[in-house]
Amino acid sequence: MSRLGVLRDLISRYISSFLWWIAGEIPFLKTIVRTIPIVNRWFAERIGEDVTVADRSSMDNAEISVKVDTMPTPAEMEFKIPVDNLSADTLEVSGVDLRVGVSKDGDALGKVQWLDDRGVEDPRFIVNPSISGKSETEAFRVRLTPRPYIYRRRDSFSIYVSGTVRFRTSFGSVWIPITQMVRIDDDLIESRFSIAHGDVDGRYPSEFPG
């Protein structure tokens, strides 16, 4: 980036910080901002620039954990998704559009698609959706019942989570992309997959022929 570009970026950030401070210190100004769509959207986008999802770790060292739980639903996986919210605003997960697969572009194990204004207001597959302001790392969790055949795997493998997460801010919603990987290691397969296999085998025997 050129020196002029760096200068423009610094000025933009200072103006953004100043306007954000003014809006926070003068309550009625925030009310006025909310009545002007283009300004409201500008504030929401500035907040979104200070938010990253699953971005602290590389594709080979993901900070997403997986557990397998057979109660009360069959063989459920849970993905812990870290969020860095450096803005002063408290965020709320209000929508997800995520694809889970054993490769970046291959067949999906499952999808999680939800918007709070079009579906269930508080679905059980989204846990801890609130992310406080100025938090370096907090996390929400997404639960998914994948295709049963995945529990036939007996060697370590990777699962990819990609898509977008929608956060509600004080000035509207923003979509943040996510692309991340979690490694299913031998210990998890040995300790949990056998339980899941038995569970889905009993519920869906046709998925495990022979």
Residue 1 CB neighbours (<10 A):
8
pTM greater than 0.85 (yes/no): no
The residue that leads in pLDDT, 202 or 59, is: 202
pLDDT at 167: 95
- With tokens 């200070």, the residue in question is 50
H or E segment at 201? helix 194-203
Report the half-sphere exposure of 35 (CA within 13 A, side-chain side): 4
pLDDT at 64: 46
Task: Provide the total of helices (H) and of strands (E) in the chain, helices listed first.
Answer: 5, 10
- With tokens 């692309």, the residue in question is 179
**Cβ atoms of residues 63 and 56 within 8 Å:** yes
Residue 63 has pLDDT above 50, yes or no: no
Percentage of the chain exceeding pLDDT 90: 11
C-alpha of 158 from chain center: 18
Alpha helices by DSSP H, 109-193: 186-188
| Residues 72-86 pLDDT 10s | 677 788 888 888 888
| Residues 13-56 pLDDT 10s | 666 666 666 666 666 666 666 666 677 777 788 788 888 887 65
**DSSP state letter for 45:** H
